[in-house]
Amino acid sequence: MRSGAIRRRLTLGPALLAAAGLLAFAASGTAQAAPSSCSGDQVRTLSFATGVTRVYRHGDYVCAITLARDPGVVRAMSVSVQARGSRPAKDTGHYLHRAGPVTVHAGHRCVWIRGAVGRNGVSSGWILC
């Protein structure tokens, strides 16, 4: 192999690796920017001072996400869905934009939804009975 061919291959490898890394980074950013990750029909919107919790139903499953009204600042956020007679499924952490999605199998049972952004939050009581 001539030295020119070796040099081209040595520069092509890192360039392809960098392009693959940029593609993966762009794809992950796109996935985070999606407004909703729950499937099904939106059945409730629970608003509060610093955010909103959206509730979706798809067959026997209920899903919820909490969105910040002012995204871009990392803060404590949470969302939980509890089917009556079961423990709540939760997503709690420090996020920029969204907590969740959290999905539970509710069947024909009532569910209790909670969402919070910072110190403000919402609690639905038993709904979707």
pLDDT tens track for 12-24: 455 544 444 433 4
Which of the four pLDDT bands, split at 50, 70 and 90, describes residue 10? Answer: very low
pLDDT tens-place string over residues 72-115: 899 999 999 999 999 999 999 999 999 999 999 999 999 999 99
pLDDT digit string, tens, across residues 43-72:
999 999 999 999 999 999 999 999 999 998
What ranges do the domains of the chain cover?
Answer: 1-33, 36-127
Fold (CATH) for 36-127: Immunoglobulin-like (2.60.40)
Residue 32 has pLDDT above 90, yes or no: no
Predicted pLDDT at 3: 60
pLDDT of residue 6: 55
- DSSP-assigned letters across all residues of the chain: --HHHHHHHHHHHHHHHHHHHHHHHHHHHHHHH-S----SEEEEEEEETTEEEEEEEETTEEEEEEEESSTTS-EEEEEEEEETTSPPEEEEEEESSEEEEEEEE-TTS-EEEEEEETTEEEEEEEE--
